[in-house]
């Protein structure tokens, strides 16, 4: 079983178990071409399934962070919508005892916009912490490199121009 690559205390998706490519290693010269093609197809299928599982684990973790951050946006919207009626009138009438009525309601409106902005900012800070799936990207790059270099041996194959 592999261990997580990031040990900095951040939320790391769970480590997925590795999928064995074959039960018993067989020498390539002991198999027919058809058997080798079957093994390659099986291994490629296992590799794709592993990549999908890794991506799903990482994306699920990041989606949870996004949902948590969106709660702050929902709170900000709720405060703005419901408090527009009740708090504007109550605080506006209270301030109207000392100020002009229009100025009192303008001050209350400004206060509510500041409170909504604060919750919006908190939501932005939470959503900004969402990371891209680093392990999946790295694994896909490694896979692409291996697939791209298949059939080429070190220095024996002439380059086509």
- Each residue of 86-145: pLDDT tens digit? 767 888 899 899 999 898 888 888 888 898 899 999 989 988 888 888 888 888 888 878
Q: Tell me which of 40 and 27 has the higher pLDDT.
A: 40
Q: What pLDDT digit, counting tens, does each position of 35-71 carry? A: 777 888 888 888 888 888 888 888 888 888 888 888 8
pLDDT, mean of residues 75-91: 81
Q: With left for phi above 0 and alpha for psi between -120 and 50, is residue 155 left, alpha or beta? A: left
The answer to whether the CB of 102 falls within 8 A of the CB of 152 is no
Which of 12-26, 31-45, 67-81 has the highest mean predicted lDDT (pLDDT)?
A: 67-81
Distance CA 149, CA 18 (A): 23
pTM of the model as a whole:
0.39
pLDDT of 1 reads 45
What is the model's pLDDT at position 15?
Answer: 59
**pLDDT of the residue at 9:** 52
User: Residue 128 in contact with residue 70, Cβ under 8 Å?
Assistant: no
For residue 125, give every residue at least 6 positions away whose Cβ sits within 8 Å of its Cβ, in sequence order, or none.
69
Rounded Cα distance, 114 and 93, in Å: 20
Instruction: Report residue 50: phi and psi, to 5°.
Output: -65, -40
């Amino acid at each position: 079983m592999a261990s997580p690559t990031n040990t900095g205390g951040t939320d790391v998706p769970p480590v997925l178990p590795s999928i064995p490519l074959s039960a018993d290693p067989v020498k390539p010269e002991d198999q027919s071409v058809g058997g080798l093609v079957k093994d390659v197809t099986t291994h490629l299928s296992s590799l794709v399934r592993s990549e999908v599982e890794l991506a799903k684990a990482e994306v699920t973790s990041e989606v949870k962070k996004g949902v948590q951050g969106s709660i702050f946006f929902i709170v900000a919207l709720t405060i703005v919508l419901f408090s527009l009626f009740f708090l504007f009138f109550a605080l506006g009438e209270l301030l109207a005892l000392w100020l002009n009525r229009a100025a009192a309601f303008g001050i209350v409106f400004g206060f509510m916009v500041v409170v909504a902005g604060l919750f919006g900012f908190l939501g932005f800070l939470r959503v900004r912490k969402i990371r891209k799936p680093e392990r999946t990207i790295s694994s896909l790059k490694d896979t692409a490199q291996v697939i791209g270099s298949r059939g080429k041996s070190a220095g024996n194959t002439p380059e086509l121009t």
